[in-house]
Structures are given as structure tokens and as C-alpha cells.
Amino acid sequence: MKMTGAEAIVKCLEEQGVEVIFGFPGGVIIDLFDELEKSSVTNVLVRHEQAAVHAADAYGRVKGEVGVALVTSGPGATNTVTGIASAYCDSIPMVVFTGQVPTGLIGNDAFQEVDIVGITRPCTKHNYLVKDPNELVSIIREAFYIARTGRPGPVLIDLPKDVVISKVNFPEPTPVKMQTYRPTYEPHPGQIAKACKEILKAKRPVLYIGGGVIASDSNEELTELATKLNIPTTMTLMGLGGFPGTHKLSMGMLGMHGTYFANMAVSKCDLLIAVGSRFDDRVTGKIADFAPHAKIIHIDIDPTSISKNVKVDIPIVADCKYALTAMNRWLDVQKDFNGKEQEEKLGPWLDEINDWKRKHPLGYVEEGDIIKPQFVVQKLHEMTNGEAIISTEVGQNQMWAAQFYHFNNPRHFLTSGGLGVMGYGFPAAIGAQMAAPDKTVIDIAGDGSIQMNIQELATSRQYKCPVKIAILNNGYLGMVRQWQELFYDKRYAGTDLSVGPDFVKLAEAYGAVGLRATKVSEVEPVIKEALATDNTVIMDFVIAREEGVYPMVPAGKATTEMLLS
Amino acid sequence: MKHTISVLLQNKPGVLSRVTGLFSGRGFNIESLSVAETLDVGVSCLTLVTRGPDEIIEQITKQLHKLIDVIKVVDVGDSEFVEREMALIRVKAESHTRAEVLRIIDIFRGKVVDVSPKSYAVEITGPRSKIKAVIDILKPIGIQEIVRTGTIAMARAKKS
């Protein structure tokens, strides 16, 4: 069957079950937008290509599917780089289509030509320049397959204009099989048994879980293992929601701004069970002092993650879901395993952790009428029953959200974890709202980062997304200011944002709703009104200017060397 | 530790830059690199020589394997192997040294591939150490130009 390249691309999207994409058109890609308009696929017209990619990222995370973005060549393509790099760091499945000048002009420095395949090579899982129209369909199918399988990630497809308008074949879909790419899903049974035996021997075990638990939808299997064995569990930023945050075994987040008890537990444990996490420097602090007394079991689908930063004793290369299931089944058939004995054995360990919890809980100091950001996040949690989808920007807002919104469910916390992109949260909230129209979606933002993609207010309005933005407004680039306060003698170089927009008027200018709270008593009414409003809302919370995020492990220090206030 | 790694990869545009980009991006070093197609024109063989502690070499092989276009990665040094490199060396050869240059080349079983009144261009093949030895010995006579291929390597067949 012959059809145009554009028709084939749209047909491929439908075949992949794509309902919504995020895009911004341009000269060389008009034909594809033209074709999309006739199809069942909705294009959400963003106002900046970076936002398209973040929105696709969040859409994919919430739905557990591959997010799709579509942009033009040149600047359209380069504007996607930040979003792609973020998705790559966070292992988010995504396919990004970029327009390209006609094949005959490639390499001639044509108008809006850029070598986007070259530029994105280090920040995509794989990428393609389609030169032969007859490879178009198979490349798209392969791209979706690569994006979604193994350790997920973004894949980019560069589409020269002549390929989009030429006649192409549309072969019947067959299962994608690749000679060179075969991720390992099933764990090695010997390793599973070895790991389980080690876990049963441990007196002070800790589960340290990351984004892999969410990506593989294995939160239930993880919870089963943790509760069956009574193992205290800590989450990375990307792992929040992988284990219920309000569970008695939860220790919250670990690492630079992790809880006192999570960091203490890791430093004192005799066995660390890492599941879908990658020993990032923000988690480990000074590597030599990380979990110094522990044997380490590491489950990850990506072999390169294993023994990259920390030497692992029992590696298990597998999909977390398969590995955790195998461990649960292994334990089920152990005749001499007794849940009660296990609980008693770990009793002293849990007592010690609970002691730390009592001594140094997460907290903050109230200061009369002045709004504390932590209080705002607590109120948001309370007033949404902990069930909202929360996206964040990057910096203090992100850490307060991670600390004080206790996520019980996976795919409810959207943040740019690895790359740390300011400007991620708002477009992500739009993507999330498109994926889950009936959910409350809140972007917890700072006054600095919200301005990095504030133009998306128009997109949010156009597609009737009742996204709520909670700006924790301190007139500073707060996280950098905090470092300057602590390590640079309070020299606030380049962090003063005291001249900012009036966010209420700004919201109104876009036809959204703007609300402001300047004292504690106004917080609840503002949230209440925002949640009741069927429109995009900016809540401008004017907070304590110099509030810091604590605990804090200074960069390069051991995670036990926490500043507590 | 020096390692010779052999990589089979799909013969497609951009594949080489995926490999070299991986090395530069992650701060791994490449001492030499050589690549050409195999019997199957769709597949290239790339041989690279790198140095690093064991954990870095482990990362290098894993990261190479993670590239979608890579078919197979073998650290050739894990078993017995033969390695060869070729060098073309233009060496000064004036009347009083011409005979000596020829004798040296002969000892190393090299070949003269280009002759001019004042120089010879010679071809030397062998392991890296041999190339180095030839260079060391020709240097005092006067080397005008050198071009080297980089190492290629092959595991020895099982003897039984």
C-alpha cells in the first residue's frame, strides 16, 4: 500500500495507540501537521518546543506510555534538547519527531538546518535520520519499541521534508525484533536465591528504591517484599510513590535533602537492597562513606548502572518487576521462613530507626504570620487527600514537595530528577492533565523557575487544563541562595529576584485566575478557591524569604554529616 | 592496564561517532582505533586500544554494549590473541645511510614501498612493540614522516 510519508507517520502513531502529542510547527513539517489535523491524534500546540518535550515526558509518565513531541527543524529541534536530556536522565519513554530540510540540502547550511541527530546523540537512547522513505515505517516502529522497552528513554527521529511528502510503503506490522538490542528482563535464578538468602541473614537491611520501580510498575511487588520481610524502605527523588510514603516502613527520601532517619539507616545498615536506583551523587554523598557496613544487592535492568559508582556484591540484571516477583516467590516456598520470627529479628533495628524518627522528624519553625513553604505543601497534601498529581520545578520548591507531600501512589510525582530542569514543572503539569483529565494536577513552583516556561499559560488555557500552580515566592533563586548563605558568606551573587512580575495580574492577562496569600491565614482559603476553580490558577504564596531546605548534606560530604537547620 | 577491545557494529552512518562520542563524553581514553567492514558488508569491526583500571574497562565494555548499533563487544585480552599494526615510515636515506636503512628494514622484515634519491618509505607490520622498536632505531637516522594504522587484533583459535 502506497501513501505519503506524512500519512504513514500518522498511521504509525495510531497503530502505537498515541492519542495526544505535543507540538509546534514550522516550515519543513507543515505537511505532517496538516495530516494530523485529519486524524484521531490531538496535537497540543505549546508555546515553546522545550515545553512540548516536558509535557510529552509527563504525559508518558502518568499514562505509562510513550510520550510524543513533534517540532520543526533548526531552532525547533534545538529547543527540544533540554527536554530530551531530562527524559534521558530520568529514563522516560518518549519519541521526538523533528523536521529536517530536504535530504538534498542536508549539509549545505540550509535555512533552519541543524544536525539534530549529531546534537542529541549523547542524550537519546537512540536516534535516526530517515533518508530512505521506505525505511520510515520500520524506523518509527523500532523507535517506539526502543523507547518503551529495557531501560526506557527518549528516541529522536529526524524527518527530512522530502521524506514526509514522498510516497512510501506501509508494511503490515510485525513484532519488532532487533539483532543488536535485547534487554534482559528475567533475572538469573541463582542470583535471586543468593540475594534472598542474604536478605534473610541480614539484621539491619534497608530497601533503597528508585525510578526503576515506577518505570516497571512494580510498586506492588516491592511493597509485598518490604512488608513480608518488614524491611524499612527509602526512596530516591525518582522513586517517590514507588512505596507508600505514609507506610510505617517508609523512611521518606534519602540523600542530600533526605530525612535524617533515612540517611542514618543507610549509613548503619548491614544490607542495602537497591531496586531500580543508580547510586546518584545526590543520593550517596561522599562515596567512600556511603553504606560503609553494608553488603549491596542491586537490581537494575541496565547493566551499566551496576558497579558504576558503588561496588555491588550481588548484581541482578533484570526488570524490577520480574526480579521482585521472583524474590517473593522464592520466599513463599521457604518452609523455614516465619514472618513473625523475621519481624522479631528486625525489631531492634526498626526501634533504632523509629528512635531517629522521633528525635529528628522532618519539620520547620513557625514564624507567626509569615508563610512557611513547608506549611503550604502540607496544606496542599491535606486538602487534596494526598491524591493529586504533583509536578515540580527545580530547587527548593522541588525538595519541599518531595519532603512534605507524602506520595502513596506511583506516577503521581513528576520532577526533572537527573538533569534538574527549571521550567519542567508547568509544561509537565499540562502534559499530566492531558493524560488524566479528572485528576487534580498541581505544579509546585518557585518564582524563579516558573518564569522559565510561563508562556505555557496560553497552552494551558487553550486546552482547558485546570492546572494549579503553587508558586512558593521568596524573591530569590532560593536553592542557590541557600548555598550562598551556607558556603559563600551570604554573598547573594546573581540570585536576587526581588523584581518579578505580579503573578496575579500575569495570570489574569492570560485569562487564567490569579490568587495571592501573604500570611498564614490566607493559605487555606487560597488553596480552597483554587481547587474549586475550573481554570488554570496561579497561587502566589509570598513565603519567608530566607527559608532553607533541611536536612542538608553539603556536596561531597558523607550523608551522616547533615545540617539539620 | 592496556586493553584491546574488539567491537562488531552495524555498518551505518554515524555509528563511529556514537562510539567516539561515548568515549569523549564519559572521559574514557582511546589510544588507537581502527575500523573496517567485515565479510558481511553490513557489519564493521572496530578495534580500539584503551587504558584504565578494571572497573573503568568494565564500564567501557558495558557502555559500548548499550549502544543500539553495537552487536558484540569482546575484550580480546581476556584470552590469547594476536595483534598487528602497520606503519609507513619515510626515513632519510642519503648515500652514506642507504645501505644501513635497508639492513635495518630487512632485520624487521619490512618492505620498501617508495624510493626517492634522499629517502625510503618503508612498510612495517607487527605488534605495537615492534613498530616502536623500528621507530626507535630509525630515529637517529632521521624520520621525516610516519603514518600508523592503529592496532587490529584477533583472538587465537582454540588449540583442541
Residue A1: the pLDDT is 75
Q: A266-317 pLDDT, tens per residue?
A: 999 999 999 999 999 999 999 999 999 999 999 999 999 999 999 999 999 9
Find out whether A186 and A172 touch, Cβ atoms under 8 Å: no
Helical H segments across A360-395, by residue range = 373-383
Residue B4: the pLDDT is 95
Regions of chain A where pLDDT drops below 50: none
- Closest by Cβ to B59, choosing from A117, A308, A311: A308
CA distance B69 to chain A (A): 6
CA distance A91 to chain B (A): 14
Residue A199: the pLDDT is 97
Q: B5-47 pLDDT, tens per residue?
A: 999 999 999 999 999 999 999 999 999 999 999 999 999 999 9
- B chain contacts of residue A302, beta-carbon cutoff 8 Å: 66
Would you call A181 and B10 a contact, using CB atoms and an 8 Å cutoff?
A: no
- A chain contacts of residue B17, beta-carbon cutoff 8 Å: 118, 121
A353 Cβ neighbours under 8 A, 6+ residues apart: A232, A251, A261, A264, A265
- B chain contacts of residue A129, beta-carbon cutoff 8 Å: 13-14
* Whole-number percent of chain B with pLDDT over 70: 99
- Closest by Cβ to B55, choosing from A129, A180, A307: A307
Q: How far apart are CA B134 and CA B93, in angstroms?
A: 15
Phi first, then psi: give them for residue A407, nearest 5 degrees.
-75, 125
- Tell me which amino acid residue A26 is: G
Name the pLDDT band for B159 (thresholds 50, 70, 90). Answer: confident
Q: How far apart are CA B142 and CA B93, in angstroms?
A: 8
Residue of B nearest to A115 (CA): B14
Return the residue in A88, A121, A158 with the most chain B beta carbons within 10 A, the one to mutate for interface testing.
A121
Q: A188-197 pLDDT, tens per residue?
A: 999 999 999 9
Name the pLDDT band for B137 (thresholds 50, 70, 90). Answer: very high
Active site residue A256: no
- B chain contacts of residue A304, beta-carbon cutoff 8 Å: 59, 62-63, 66
Active site residue A224: no
ipTM of predicted complex = 0.91
Name the pLDDT band for B158 (thresholds 50, 70, 90). Answer: confident
Residue A468: the pLDDT is 98
Is A498 an interface residue toward B (CB < 8 Å)? no
Closest CA to A165 of A284, A288, A33: A33
Active site residue A547: no
- Closest by Cβ to B63, choosing from A129, A304, A311: A304
Residue of A nearest to B26 (CA): A122
Residue A179: the pLDDT is 87
Please name the residue that has the C-alpha cell 548502572: A305
Return the residue in A106, A124, A145, A180 with the most chain B beta carbons within 10 A, the one to mutate for interface testing.
A180
Name the pLDDT band for B148 (thresholds 50, 70, 90). Answer: very high
Q: How far apart are CA A331 and CA A520, in angstroms?
A: 50
Q: B52-84 pLDDT, tens per residue?
A: 999 999 999 999 999 999 999 999 988 899 999
Q: How far apart are CA A152 and CA A163, in angstroms?
A: 27
Chain A residues 181-240 within an 8 A CB cutoff of chain B: 181
